[in-house]
Amino acid sequence: MLTQAKKEFIEFMMSADVLKFGDFVTKSGRNTPYFVNTGNYRTGAQIAKLSKFYAALIKETTGGDFDCMFGPAYKGIPLAAATAAALYNEYGIDKPYFFNRKEEKDHGEGGSLVGYKPADGDRVIIIEDVITAGTAVRETIPILTGAAKVTIPDMFISVNRCEIGQTPGKTAVMEVCDEFGISVHAIVTVEDIYEYLKADGGYGKVLGNMERYMAQYCAL
């Protein structure tokens, strides 16, 4: 269902040039009529607004019942930091965050993790931008479980593309849930974006391309 909050988020992504329509190729090699690039958030106002959407979804989903949040390098790093600030400013929920380096540091404090050091028994939530094929998630899990005996109950993303993963009939999000026991929560889905365009009435060609794409690659 396209709620007012989802509509506002879609319009926010479009205004920031993060959600684009045209002819693109995803990381998984699929041609897609829309593309989400959170790397285009580039101002203080944008990251502040974005983090409020994440914080609202986390508060609604968890009530603050988790121990720390992790932002995978690279796009997850500013997302986790800004969301930690928004959770505190908006709801008084003060949680530590941490992130990883792509390459381990062999001097100073060393290691590949920066920020909070996870401890055995911690419940970690992951803050990420999108899931297309689930590749980034599979790279992230060993980093977290290698740091401590943690559990990862939830992951929060901006857009669920609802695309089929490696298993026929299952989306990458479903696979992540089945494989790792992680519940993935998105601010909006591809269906929400489609419904928004349909209600707007000015996206005839894009709608047709979206319909074909969703029929071919998505499990809804």
Catalytic residues: 105, 107
Question: What residues have CB less than 8 Å from 28, skipping those under 6 apart?
Answer: 132, 133, 135, 163
Instruction: Name the amino acid, one letter, at 144.
Output: L
**Backbone CA torsion sign across 155, 133, 181, 71:** negative
- Shortest CA distance to 165 belongs to which of 127, 133, 198? 133
User: Helix and strand tally (H, E) in the chain?
Assistant: 7, 9
DSSP letters spanning 71-103 = E-TTTHHHHHHHHHHHHHHHH-----EEEEEEE
- Shortest CA distance to 13 belongs to which of 189, 181, 199? 189
Which two tokens mark 161?
A: 């593309």
Give the span between the Cα atoms of 95 and 90, in whole angstroms: 13
